[in-house]
Structure 1
Amino acid sequence: MAKLYLLLAAFLGGTGVVLGAFGAHGLRGKIAENLLEAYKTGVLYQMLHALALFGIALLIRHWGEKTSLLVSGGLFALGVLLFSGSLYALAFGGPRWLGPVTPLGGLAMIGGWTALFVAALNLPK
Protein backbone atom coordinates (compact mmCIF):
# COMPACT_ATOMS: atom_id res chain seq x y z
CA MET A 1 0.00 0.00 0.00
CA ALA A 2 2.90 2.36 0.56
CA LYS A 3 3.66 2.27 -3.16
CA LEU A 4 0.02 2.91 -4.09
CA TYR A 5 -0.21 5.87 -1.72
CA LEU A 6 3.10 7.24 -3.00
CA LEU A 7 1.84 6.94 -6.59
CA LEU A 8 -1.41 8.67 -5.61
CA ALA A 9 0.54 11.42 -3.82
CA ALA A 10 2.68 12.02 -6.91
CA PHE A 11 -0.36 12.00 -9.21
CA LEU A 12 -2.38 14.35 -7.01
CA GLY A 13 0.60 16.66 -6.49
CA GLY A 14 1.44 16.82 -10.18
CA THR A 15 -2.12 17.31 -11.33
CA GLY A 16 -2.61 19.85 -8.54
CA VAL A 17 0.19 21.98 -9.97
CA VAL A 18 -1.27 21.69 -13.48
CA LEU A 19 -4.79 22.53 -12.28
CA GLY A 20 -3.49 25.43 -10.19
CA ALA A 21 -1.60 26.90 -13.14
CA PHE A 22 -4.62 26.45 -15.39
CA GLY A 23 -6.82 28.19 -12.85
CA ALA A 24 -4.40 31.10 -12.45
CA HIS A 25 -3.76 31.62 -16.16
CA GLY A 26 -6.63 30.03 -18.05
CA LEU A 27 -9.72 30.69 -15.96
CA ARG A 28 -9.27 34.24 -14.67
CA GLY A 29 -11.90 36.40 -16.33
CA LYS A 30 -13.58 33.39 -17.93
CA ILE A 31 -15.62 32.15 -14.97
CA ALA A 32 -17.35 33.98 -12.13
CA GLU A 33 -15.07 35.03 -9.26
CA ASN A 34 -16.92 32.85 -6.73
CA LEU A 35 -16.44 29.81 -8.98
CA LEU A 36 -12.75 30.64 -9.40
CA GLU A 37 -12.41 30.83 -5.60
CA ALA A 38 -14.10 27.43 -5.25
CA TYR A 39 -11.74 26.04 -7.89
CA LYS A 40 -8.71 27.44 -6.00
CA THR A 41 -10.01 25.85 -2.79
CA GLY A 42 -10.19 22.50 -4.58
CA VAL A 43 -6.58 22.87 -5.73
CA LEU A 44 -5.39 23.86 -2.26
CA TYR A 45 -7.03 20.88 -0.57
CA GLN A 46 -5.79 18.54 -3.30
CA MET A 47 -2.21 19.71 -2.79
CA LEU A 48 -2.39 19.51 1.00
CA HIS A 49 -3.74 15.99 0.88
CA ALA A 50 -1.19 14.92 -1.74
CA LEU A 51 1.44 15.82 0.86
CA ALA A 52 -0.55 14.01 3.54
CA LEU A 53 -0.65 10.87 1.37
CA PHE A 54 3.10 11.17 0.87
CA GLY A 55 3.49 11.19 4.64
CA ILE A 56 1.19 8.21 5.04
CA ALA A 57 3.26 6.28 2.48
CA LEU A 58 6.42 7.04 4.47
CA LEU A 59 4.77 6.01 7.75
CA ILE A 60 3.61 2.72 6.24
CA ARG A 61 7.15 2.01 5.00
CA HIS A 62 8.50 2.75 8.46
CA TRP A 63 5.87 1.21 10.76
CA GLY A 64 4.10 -1.26 8.48
CA GLU A 65 0.57 -1.52 7.20
CA LYS A 66 -1.29 -0.50 10.33
CA THR A 67 -5.05 -0.46 9.72
CA SER A 68 -5.46 3.14 10.84
CA LEU A 69 -2.73 4.29 8.42
CA LEU A 70 -4.36 2.40 5.55
CA VAL A 71 -7.76 3.88 6.41
CA SER A 72 -6.25 7.35 6.69
CA GLY A 73 -4.70 7.19 3.23
CA GLY A 74 -7.86 5.79 1.69
CA LEU A 75 -9.99 8.51 3.23
CA PHE A 76 -7.58 11.22 2.09
CA ALA A 77 -7.76 9.93 -1.50
CA LEU A 78 -11.56 9.63 -1.37
CA GLY A 79 -11.79 13.09 0.16
CA VAL A 80 -9.80 14.66 -2.67
CA LEU A 81 -11.92 12.90 -5.26
CA LEU A 82 -15.19 14.04 -3.71
CA PHE A 83 -14.21 17.46 -2.32
CA SER A 84 -11.85 18.80 -4.96
CA GLY A 85 -13.50 16.90 -7.81
CA SER A 86 -16.93 18.33 -7.05
CA LEU A 87 -15.52 21.88 -6.78
CA TYR A 88 -13.78 21.51 -10.13
CA ALA A 89 -16.94 20.19 -11.74
CA LEU A 90 -19.07 22.99 -10.26
CA ALA A 91 -16.57 25.60 -11.49
CA PHE A 92 -17.02 24.24 -15.02
CA GLY A 93 -20.81 24.34 -14.86
CA GLY A 94 -21.47 20.84 -13.53
CA PRO A 95 -24.88 19.93 -12.20
CA ARG A 96 -25.99 21.58 -8.96
CA TRP A 97 -26.50 18.19 -7.28
CA LEU A 98 -22.70 18.07 -6.95
CA GLY A 99 -22.90 20.81 -4.29
CA PRO A 100 -23.82 18.37 -1.50
CA VAL A 101 -20.96 16.04 -2.56
CA THR A 102 -18.36 18.62 -1.50
CA PRO A 103 -19.03 18.32 2.26
CA LEU A 104 -18.94 14.52 1.97
CA GLY A 105 -15.40 14.87 0.66
CA GLY A 106 -14.62 17.16 3.57
CA LEU A 107 -15.96 14.55 5.98
CA ALA A 108 -13.74 11.92 4.34
CA MET A 109 -10.73 14.20 4.82
CA ILE A 110 -11.63 14.78 8.46
CA GLY A 111 -11.98 11.01 8.85
CA GLY A 112 -8.51 10.59 7.34
CA TRP A 113 -6.99 12.98 9.86
CA THR A 114 -8.88 11.23 12.65
CA ALA A 115 -7.53 7.86 11.52
CA LEU A 116 -4.03 9.34 11.44
CA PHE A 117 -4.55 10.55 15.01
CA VAL A 118 -5.55 7.02 16.03
CA ALA A 119 -2.48 5.65 14.26
CA ALA A 120 -0.28 8.07 16.18
CA LEU A 121 -1.82 6.97 19.47
CA ASN A 122 -1.16 3.31 18.66
CA LEU A 123 2.33 3.49 17.20
CA PRO A 124 5.28 2.33 19.29
CA LYS A 125 7.35 4.92 21.11
Structure 2
Amino acid sequence: MTQQIIIATAAFFGMLSVIFGAFGAHALKNILSNEQLHSFEVGVKYQMYHAIVLLVLGFNHNGISAAIYWCFTIGILLFSFSIYGLVLSSAKGKKLRFLGPITPIGGMLLVIGWLLVLINAF
Protein backbone atom coordinates (compact mmCIF):
# COMPACT_ATOMS: atom_id res chain seq x y z
CA MET A 1 0.00 0.00 0.00
CA THR A 2 1.38 3.40 -0.87
CA GLN A 3 1.52 6.23 1.61
CA GLN A 4 -0.78 8.33 -0.59
CA ILE A 5 -3.47 5.63 -0.70
CA ILE A 6 -3.36 5.15 3.07
CA ILE A 7 -3.61 8.89 3.75
CA ALA A 8 -6.34 9.37 1.13
CA THR A 9 -8.37 6.50 2.60
CA ALA A 10 -7.97 7.96 6.08
CA ALA A 11 -9.00 11.42 4.90
CA PHE A 12 -12.03 10.01 3.07
CA PHE A 13 -13.24 8.04 6.10
CA GLY A 14 -12.53 11.00 8.40
CA MET A 15 -14.47 13.36 6.16
CA LEU A 16 -17.40 10.95 5.97
CA SER A 17 -17.46 10.51 9.73
CA VAL A 18 -17.80 14.28 10.20
CA ILE A 19 -20.59 14.39 7.61
CA PHE A 20 -22.37 11.38 9.12
CA GLY A 21 -21.91 12.76 12.64
CA ALA A 22 -23.49 16.07 11.65
CA PHE A 23 -26.25 14.24 9.79
CA GLY A 24 -26.98 12.16 12.88
CA ALA A 25 -26.87 15.11 15.26
CA HIS A 26 -29.10 17.35 13.17
CA ALA A 27 -31.17 15.50 10.58
CA LEU A 28 -31.72 12.26 12.48
CA LYS A 29 -32.16 13.45 16.06
CA ASN A 30 -35.92 13.91 15.60
CA ILE A 31 -36.34 10.71 13.59
CA LEU A 32 -34.36 8.15 15.58
CA SER A 33 -34.99 6.86 19.07
CA ASN A 34 -32.29 7.53 21.67
CA GLU A 35 -31.10 3.93 21.32
CA GLN A 36 -30.93 4.18 17.52
CA LEU A 37 -29.12 7.51 17.71
CA HIS A 38 -26.61 6.03 20.16
CA SER A 39 -25.96 3.10 17.79
CA PHE A 40 -25.48 5.49 14.88
CA GLU A 41 -23.02 7.53 16.96
CA VAL A 42 -21.05 4.36 17.79
CA GLY A 43 -20.62 3.74 14.06
CA VAL A 44 -19.43 7.34 13.55
CA LYS A 45 -16.99 7.17 16.48
CA TYR A 46 -15.41 3.90 15.41
CA GLN A 47 -15.14 5.17 11.85
CA MET A 48 -13.35 8.32 13.03
CA TYR A 49 -11.09 6.47 15.46
CA HIS A 50 -9.90 4.14 12.73
CA ALA A 51 -9.59 6.95 10.17
CA ILE A 52 -7.22 8.68 12.59
CA VAL A 53 -5.24 5.46 13.08
CA LEU A 54 -4.94 5.03 9.30
CA LEU A 55 -3.80 8.65 9.02
CA VAL A 56 -1.11 8.19 11.67
CA LEU A 57 0.03 4.95 10.07
CA GLY A 58 0.06 6.64 6.68
CA PHE A 59 2.23 9.52 7.86
CA ASN A 60 4.53 7.06 9.63
CA HIS A 61 4.66 4.74 6.65
CA ASN A 62 7.42 2.57 8.10
CA GLY A 63 6.35 -0.70 6.65
CA ILE A 64 2.61 -0.70 7.37
CA SER A 65 1.48 -3.97 5.93
CA ALA A 66 -1.27 -4.27 3.39
CA ALA A 67 -3.00 -6.58 5.89
CA ILE A 68 -3.26 -3.77 8.47
CA TYR A 69 -4.59 -1.36 5.86
CA TRP A 70 -7.19 -3.83 4.58
CA CYS A 71 -8.26 -4.96 8.06
CA PHE A 72 -8.98 -1.38 9.08
CA THR A 73 -10.51 -0.36 5.75
CA ILE A 74 -12.81 -3.35 5.37
CA GLY A 75 -13.45 -3.35 9.11
CA ILE A 76 -14.70 0.25 8.94
CA LEU A 77 -16.92 -0.55 5.97
CA LEU A 78 -18.43 -3.66 7.52
CA PHE A 79 -18.71 -2.39 11.10
CA SER A 80 -19.73 1.26 10.78
CA PHE A 81 -21.64 1.08 7.52
CA SER A 82 -23.66 -1.96 8.63
CA ILE A 83 -24.63 -0.02 11.76
CA TYR A 84 -25.72 2.94 9.61
CA GLY A 85 -27.76 0.61 7.42
CA LEU A 86 -29.35 -1.17 10.37
CA VAL A 87 -30.29 2.05 12.15
CA LEU A 88 -31.61 3.88 9.10
CA SER A 89 -33.56 0.90 7.79
CA SER A 90 -35.01 0.28 11.25
CA ALA A 91 -36.12 3.91 11.46
CA LYS A 92 -37.97 3.43 8.16
CA GLY A 93 -39.67 0.32 9.56
CA LYS A 94 -37.89 -2.11 7.22
CA LYS A 95 -34.85 -3.27 9.19
CA LEU A 96 -32.26 -4.91 6.95
CA ARG A 97 -31.62 -7.87 9.23
CA PHE A 98 -28.97 -9.38 6.98
CA LEU A 99 -26.68 -6.55 8.10
CA GLY A 100 -26.77 -7.75 11.73
CA PRO A 101 -24.19 -10.55 11.29
CA ILE A 102 -21.95 -8.25 9.22
CA THR A 103 -21.29 -5.83 12.11
CA PRO A 104 -19.32 -8.30 14.27
CA ILE A 105 -17.28 -9.41 11.26
CA GLY A 106 -16.27 -5.77 10.78
CA GLY A 107 -15.48 -5.49 14.48
CA MET A 108 -13.32 -8.61 14.31
CA LEU A 109 -11.39 -7.14 11.37
CA LEU A 110 -10.76 -3.98 13.42
CA VAL A 111 -9.46 -6.12 16.30
CA ILE A 112 -7.24 -8.08 13.91
CA GLY A 113 -5.94 -4.79 12.50
CA TRP A 114 -4.96 -3.70 16.00
CA LEU A 115 -3.33 -7.09 16.65
CA LEU A 116 -1.30 -6.68 13.46
CA VAL A 117 -0.22 -3.20 14.57
CA LEU A 118 0.92 -4.74 17.87
CA ILE A 119 2.80 -7.52 16.08
CA ASN A 120 4.31 -4.98 13.66
CA ALA A 121 5.63 -3.00 16.65
CA PHE A 122 7.93 -5.90 17.49
Question: What is the TM-score normalised by the length of structure 1?
Answer: 0.88
Q: Distance in 2 between matches of 1:83 and 1:89?
A: 10
Structure 2 residues without counterparts, runs of 5 or longer = 90-94
Which residue of structure 2 aligns with residue 100 of structure 1?
101
Q: Distance in 2 between matches of 1:3 and 1:97?
A: 34
The one-character-per-residue Cα deviations of 1:19-57 (angstroms, maximum 9, x if unpaired) are: 000100110120222211111000000000000101111
AA aligned to 1:71 is A
Query: What does 1:8-87 correspond to in 2, within 5 Å?
Result: 8-60=9-61, 63=62, 65-66=63-64, 69-87=65-83
Identity %: 35
AA aligned to 1:50 is A
Please give the secondary structure, in 1, of the residue aligned with 2:30: coil
Equivalences, count: 116
Question: What is the TM-score normalised by the length of structure 2?
Answer: 0.90
**Structure 1: 4+ residue segments shifted above 4 A:** none
Q: Distance in 2 between matches of 1:95 and 1:12?
A: 23
CA contact (8 A) 1:35 1:90 kept: no
The one-character-per-residue Cα deviations of 1:38-87 (angstroms, maximum 9, x if unpaired) are: 11000000000000101111222xx2x35xx3211211111100000000
Structure 1 residues without counterparts, runs of 5 or longer = none
